[in-house]
Amino acid sequence: MKKTLIFDLDGTVLDTLKDLQNSVNFALKSYNFRQKSLEDVRNSVGNGLKMLIRRTLPTEADEMTVYQVLSTMKEHYRLHCHDETAPYDGVPELLHRLHTEGFRMAIVSNKADAMTKELHRVFFSDTIQVAIGETERLHRKPAPDMVFEALRQLGTEQSDAICIGDSEVDIETARNAGLPCLSVGWGFRSEEALLAAGAGTLCRTPQELYEAIKGA
């Protein structure tokens, strides 16, 4: 049984969608762009905040506009990143159970490193040992950089690790890192999208995820 678990953040352990929508719309409104629905934002997340903003702006928006809207969004999100964010039902209990059973756990996210660490501090510091986000040194997923850094900080090897996520990006990240991937069906992507991306194991509840972890 593998004892190291590398979790995605948004859509996997935390429902961050409403706070992301609020910050995106604050930034878009600041520059007189059209507001986005929750579903618009859901379909745009997964590749970092810059790509989120690029996907929510008109296709003709130039790089300066992207930069300005992104800067405004990030500043708003820094102050409001856990106003309405919360763990998914059953996830805190799952993490406590895994922690008690001696699993080593990390979060890797395409959020900026400071935001990732702040959300880890607020919600998971008692169960998850390591939290890593995007930096200049660590490329965003699907590059395997953050996964390898998490393994280094946890003091463990690839052969003992599993990736867990809610998106096609997480499946590709696991593949690039040479790790198996467990996909969760309660996050930001549909089951159909996950299966089309090559999901091997799809877990619909935290209990199913626990059983898949124990069987890996």
What are the catalytic residues? Answer: 8
What is the enclosing helix (H) or strand (E) of 175? helix 168-177
Q: Distance (Å, rounded) from C-alpha 21 to C-alpha 41?
A: 6
For residue 188, give the nearest of 27, 6, 39, 57 by alpha carbon: 39
What is the enclosing helix (H) or strand (E) of 164? strand 161-165
The 8-class DSSP code of residue 21 comes to H
Q: Distance (Å, rounded) from C-alpha 195 to C-alpha 49?
A: 25
DSSP β-bridge partners for residue 86 = 15
